[in-house]
Amino acid sequence: MTGDSLKAKVISAKLLTAVDDIMIKKFELPENHSDIGIFTTETDEAGYVAIDEATKEANITAAYARSSYGGVGCENGGQMLGVISGTSIDDVKAGLRYIVDFISRKSGLYSANDDGSITYFAQTVASIGSYFSNRLNLPKGTAIAYVAAPPLEGIIGVDEVLRTTEVTVVEFWDTPTTTNRSGAIFTGTSSDCDAACRTFAQTVIKCVRKQVDL
């Protein structure tokens, strides 16, 4: 049904110890970081939020995070490959366990129509960790709203958020993208970010219900 939560899923999660120099160079691992955790998610947006959350909960670094096309079976979606690193395998294992738990229980897509063939993502991060801090050039602890949807619906949703809420956009992407989705990351107070997520969701659903408006 419209608005239903579609839980995200980790496709695979593995630990690697004492990786070769070629991987240290490829993933730009910090000094003394040769143990890594590597994972793929069915929903890329959930993967980005999870890897940021893990930087707050475990002694790890978010070394690599990239999207690829082909996620939850809808035409607009993508997987995500993430790599975390640490100075000990126990730290990396703790970070990877947190990511798996977070994705399976605390993040995911929502259905924008009754059969779930059109989806959107809208999640507030009340206090960002080092991944989003570095990516967005924002202080740790800043609140953000992360939203995404199919190309047209996402653009309409972002526009409505900027018109009607008190957040500021710090990253905006339109098509073509690897996952054929558009979206944005906003910043503001935690309550303003919640409002941005609600506005985005309502706008995307409304847009899907009436796809031609002339």
The predicted structure's pLDDT at residue 24: 94
Nearest of 46, 37, 38, 36 to residue 9 by alpha carbon: 46
What's the rounded Cα separation, in Å, for the pair 24 and 177?
27
Separation between Cα atoms, residue 162 and residue 170, nearest integer Å: 12
Tell me whether the omega of the peptide bond preceding residue 139 falls within 30 degrees of 0, making it cis.
no
How sure is the predictor about 45, in pLDDT bands with cuts at 50, 70 and 90?
Answer: very high
Radius of gyration of the chain (CA): 17
- Given a cut of 80, whether residue 214 has pLDDT beyond it is no
Secondary structure (H, E, C), the chain: CCCCEEECCEEEEEEECCCCHHHHHHCCCCCCCCEEEEEEECCHHHHHHHHHHHHHHCCCEEEEEEEEECCCCCCCCEEEEEEEEECCHHHHHHHHHHHHHHHHHHCEEEECCCCCCCEEEEEEECCCCHHHHHHHCCCCCCEEEEEEECHHHHHHHHHHHHHHCCCEEEEEECCCCCCCCEEEEEEECHHHHHHHHHHHHHHHHHHHHCCCCC
Q: Which amino acid is located at 168 in the chain? A: T
In the chain, % of residues over pLDDT 90: 79
* pLDDT of 171 strictly over 80: yes
Overall fold of domain 111-209: Alpha-Beta Plaits (3.30.70)
Per-residue pLDDT reduced to its tens digit, 91-135: 999 999 999 999 999 999 999 998 888 899 999 999 999 999 999
Mean pLDDT of the chain: 92
The size of the chain, in residues, is 214
Half-sphere exposure of 82 (CA within 13 A, CB side): 35
Domain boundaries, the chain: 7-108, 111-209
128-167 pLDDT per residue, tens: 999 999 999 999 999 999 999 999 999 999 999 999 999 9
Highest averaged pLDDT of the listed ranges 21-25, 32-36, 171-175, 187-191: 187-191
pTM as predicted = 0.92
Residues 81-94 have pLDDT tens digits of: 999 999 999 999 99
Give pLDDT, residue 117.
85
Q: Where does the pLDDT of residue 70 fall: very low under 50, low under 70, confident under 90, or very high at 90 and above?
A: low
Question: Same fold for the domain at 7-108 and the one at 111-209?
Answer: yes
Residue 136 has a pLDDT of: 98
7-108: CATH number: 3.30.70.1710
